[in-house]
Homo-oligomer: A and B are copies of this chain.
Amino acid sequence: MPKNIRKLKGLDVNEAVNALGALAQASRLAVFKLLITKGKTGLAAGLIVDYLQQPKATISFHLKELSNAGLIISRREGRSIIYCVNYEKMQQLMNYLLENCCSDNGGKC
């Protein structure tokens, strides 16, 4: 089955809560929004520290949270760890939030 037409797997409630919780914090949302601008190219952890001007331990903690939630993905390139947004997960999250929209209500949204 070609990747680009495979059906999006839905999230379960825990995955959705974890993803939302990961985004529900100012520092992490800043990391996420920075990475959103970078597309699949991503950004090294150290550069994220430079952009956001927070201690590396703090950024590392937040990167791990976003990673655990599945919202970002990392790869090593030499000494650096490059992070980028998991756009598929993001899509799944949005689908989760709006699924069954108005299903009990004849489409009145």
- Chain A residues packing against B (C-beta within 8 Å): 13-14, 16-17, 20-21, 23-26, 29-30, 32-33, 36-41, 85, 87, 90, 94, 97-109
Please tell me if the beta carbons of B97 and A38 are within 8 angstroms of each other in the complex. Answer: no
Oligomeric state, in copies: 2
Residues on the B chain within 8 Å of A17, using CB:
24-26, 29
Interface of A: prevailing SS:
helix
Q: How far is the CA of A33 from the CA of B29 in the complex (A)?
A: 23
Task: State A87–B97 Cα separation when bound (angstroms).
Answer: 11
Asked if residues B23 and A108 are in contact (CB atoms below 8 Å), the reply is no
**8 shortest A-B CB distances, which residue pairs?**
A39-B105, A20-B24, A21-B24, A39-B102, A39-B108, A24-B24, A37-B104, A20-B23
A36 near B90: Cβ-Cβ < 8 Å: no
Our pick among B36, B40, B41, B97 for the contact of A36 (Cβ within 8 Å) is B97
Residue of B nearest to A103 (CB): B37
